[in-house]
């Protein structure tokens, strides 16, 4: 495959709207796309950025930041987006590890970056204004040829233990995954993508951007997720991609209705598990069945519920074309249907390895070259996969395995429970004790002993909850993932205090 930019340039040749604001004003057209990305690519070249160099970007979401991304692809340098939440010590690590040749940051943080790196630091504000007049750059640029294995993007995985690892994603990973998903979801040029995700993560940067661009479809581009604004824009959109918390928040709005969603073709969810009751409530309220899919930084998208065919609640669907998914036991043997095991993957979507960490890369691949995702999963008789949790979140109590999801599903069905997270906390007798953290709907008769009695009645005694805590909300990262490490730290301290 050549430079993946060519795939996007081909889509752009349709020439229509590329990015529009919430009020429908066209910000950029695809006619301008090639010239604009050329200007940013010429700017990078002028600054001495060469093929393979890292361009580190930590800015607020803007259309111009996307143009920088496409310019990096064109010039075969490596785009390295960073979550805007990262602080100085974390940035120091990323800079030391990635050795960027150019840094693009928010004006507020330029001094900080200059203290941390000798690389040229440019700024881009939240309106997309670069502190450099890119308009004087030439509008022609000869896109650099690539090998399949050339790295296009490095995404640091959030890593709850150890240092974050930079997943090296190649031009070929991006191109093949975009084509596969576009076919799977029946993308059409006339689709209008309602984009409210951050763009430092695969969900917003890859899935919600690549599909419209490679098909020349318009993107309504929002800085952030605001449920009322989303609902007001649904009638002029056809596709919305969200994380599960976006859907729960949309459901709190009375204006969400069949009528407001009448123009929509597709709603997708991913990055974290979609609760069955969210899936069902959304269907009742809007008449739309959310397509849940599963992916990760290292692999792009792996599975999806089908566009045509049954979309099963609580599952992430079936493997995408060309993606080989297997679920294995601790000996590496495939497990029977409906049995939990470790999910492993092989396919053109699987990344090249972790940047400058060959040992970590080797640890995460099996002897026969499957990527070990760290996710625990089950497959049903029809081949639909359910993600049961991360293997590091598995609870081992008295030597027996407890899958948090099994207990969470029971709790989530209990009257008065809005949502729950089940974690293992240190226990002097059993090693770990099953502990439930619950968000309740304020129902006065829900209390810890009722919860414990309810679970005890439904599961084997070794899975019974020893601790039950109530919280106002579960800690989540920007992608809607529950941060179980924070819960473990908080409640370990709490039980230690009470000894």
Residues interacting with ligand AMP, by CB under 6 A? Answer: 157-158, 202, 270-273, 292, 294-297, 316, 373, 375, 387, 390, 479
Q: Are 150 and 76 in contact (CB under 8 A)?
A: yes
- When the beta carbons of 270 and 353 are compared against ligand AMP, the nearer one is 270
- Shortest distance (Å) from residue 420 CB to ligand AMP: 15
Give least dist CB 50 to ligand AMP, A.
28
User: Nearest approach, Cβ of 450 to ligand AMP (angstroms)?
Assistant: 28
Task: Choose between 351 and 454: whose C-beta lies nearer to ligand AMP.
Answer: 351
Please name the residues in contact with 82: beta carbons below 8 A apart, sequence gap of 6 or more: 56, 57, 58, 91, 94, 156, 200
Nearer to ligand AMP, 170 or 297 (CB): 297
| CB-based contact 269:303 (threshold 8 Å) | no
Find the shortest distance in angstroms from Cβ 167 to ligand AMP.
8
Min CB(11)–ligand AMP separation in Å: 24
Q: Please give the span between the terminal C-alpha atoms of the chain, in angstroms, as a whole number.
A: 61
Closer CB to ligand AMP, residue 171 or residue 293? Answer: 293
Closest distance of CB 204 from ligand AMP, Å: 11
| Residue whose CB is less far from ligand AMP, 219 or 345 | 345
User: Smallest distance, Å, CB 174 to ligand AMP?
Assistant: 15
Nearer to ligand AMP, 179 or 373 (CB): 373
Compare residues 375 and 408 and give the one whose CB is closer to ligand AMP: 375
For the chain, the three-class secondary structure string (H helix, E strand, C coil) is: CCCCHHHHHHHHCCCCEEEECCCCCEEEEHHHHHHHHHHHHHHHHHCCCCCCCEEEEECCCCHHHHHHHHHHHHCCCEEEECCCCCCHHHHHHHHHHHCCCEEEECHHHHHHHHHHCCCCEEEECCCCCECCCHHHCCCCCCCCCCCCCCEEEEEECCCCCCCCCEEEEEHHHHHHHHHHHHHHCCCCCCCEEEECCCCCCHHHHHHHHHHHHHHCCEEEECCCCCHHHHHHHHHHCCEEEECHHHHHHHHCCCCCCCCCCCCCCEEEECCCCCCHHHHHHHHHHHCCCCEEEEEECCCEEEEECCCCCCCCCCCCCEECCCCEEEEECCCCCECCCCCCEEEEEECCCCCCEECCCHHHHHHCECCCCCEEEEEEEEECCCCCEEEEEEHHHCEEECCEEECHHHHHHHHHCCCCEEEEEEEEEEECCCEEEEEEEEEECCCCCCCHHHHHHHHHHHCCHHHCCCEEEECCCCCECCCCCECHHHHHHHHHHHHHHHC
Kindly state the smallest distance separating residue 352's Cβ from ligand AMP, in Å. 15
Tell me whether residue 152 or residue 202 sits nearer to ligand AMP (CB atom): 202
Which of residues 47 and 158 has its CB atom nearest to ligand AMP in the complex? 158
Minimum distance between the CB of residue 253 and ligand AMP, rounded to whole angstroms? 23
Decide whether 202 or 208 has the Cβ nearer to ligand AMP.
202
State the minimum distance, in angstroms, from the CB of residue 270 to ligand AMP.
Answer: 4
């Amino acid at each position: 495959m050549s430079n993946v930019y060519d795939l996007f340039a081909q889509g752009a040749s349709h020439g229509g709207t590329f990015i529009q604001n919430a009020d429908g004003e066209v910000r950029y057209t695809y006619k301008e796309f090639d010239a604009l990305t050329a200007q940013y690519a010429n700017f990078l070249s002028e600054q001495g950025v060469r093929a393979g160099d890292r361009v580190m970007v930590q800015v607020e979401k803007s259309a111009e930041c996307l143009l920088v991304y496409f310019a990096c692809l064109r010039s075969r340098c490596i785009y390295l987006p960073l979550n805007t939440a990262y602080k100085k010590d974390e940035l120091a690590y990323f800079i030391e590890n990635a050795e960027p040749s150019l840094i693009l940051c928010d004006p507020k943080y330029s001094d900080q970056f200059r203290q941390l790196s000798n690389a040229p630091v440019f700024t881009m504000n939240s309106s997309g204004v670069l502190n450099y007049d890119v308009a004087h750059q030439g509008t022609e640029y000869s896109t650099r040829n690539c090998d399949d294995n050339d790295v296009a993007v490095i995404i640091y995985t959030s890593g709850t233990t150890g240092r974050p690892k930079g997943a090296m994603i190649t031009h070929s990973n991006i191109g093949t995954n975009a084509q596969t998903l576009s076919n799977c979801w029946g993308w059409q040029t006339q689709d209008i993508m309602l984009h409210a995700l951050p763009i430092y993560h695969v969900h917003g940067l890859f899935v919600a951007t690549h599909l419209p661009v490679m098909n020349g479809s318009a993107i309504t581009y929002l800085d952030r997720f605001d449920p009322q604004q989303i609902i007001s824009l649904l009638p002029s959109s056809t596709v919305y991609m969200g994380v599960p918390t976006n859907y729960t928040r949309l459901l709190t709005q009375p204006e969400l209705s069949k009528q407001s969603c009448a123009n929509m073709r597709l709603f997708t969810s991913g990055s974290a598990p979609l609760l069955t009751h969210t899936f069902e409530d959304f269907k009742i309220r809007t008449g739309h069945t959310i397509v849940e899919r599963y992916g990760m930084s290292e692999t792009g998208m792996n599975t999806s519920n089908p566009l045509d065919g049954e979309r099963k609640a609580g599952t992430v669907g079936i493997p995408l074309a060309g993606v080989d998914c297997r679920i294995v036991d601790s000996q590496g043997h495939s497990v029977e249907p409906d049995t939990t095991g470790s999910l492993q993957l092989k396919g053109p979507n699987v990344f090249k390895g972790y940047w400058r960490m060959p040992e970590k890369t080797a640890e995460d691949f099996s002897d026969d070259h499957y990527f070990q995702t760290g996710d625990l999963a089950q497959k049903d008789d029809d081949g639909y996969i359910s993600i049961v949790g991360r293997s590091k979140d598995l609870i081992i109590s008295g030597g027996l395995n407890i899958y948090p999801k099994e207990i969470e599903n029971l709790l989530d069905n209990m009257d008065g429970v809005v949502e729950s997270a089940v974690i293992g906390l240190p226990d002097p007798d059993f090693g770990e004790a099953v502990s439930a953290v619950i968000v309740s709907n304020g129902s006065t008769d829900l209390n810890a002993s009722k919860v414990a009695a309810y679970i005890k009645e439904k599961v084997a005694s070794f899975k019974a909850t020893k601790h039950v805590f109530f919280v106002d909300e579960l800690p989540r990262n920007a992608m809607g993932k529950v941060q179980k490490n924070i819960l473990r730290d908080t409640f370990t301290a709490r039980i230690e205090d009470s000894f």
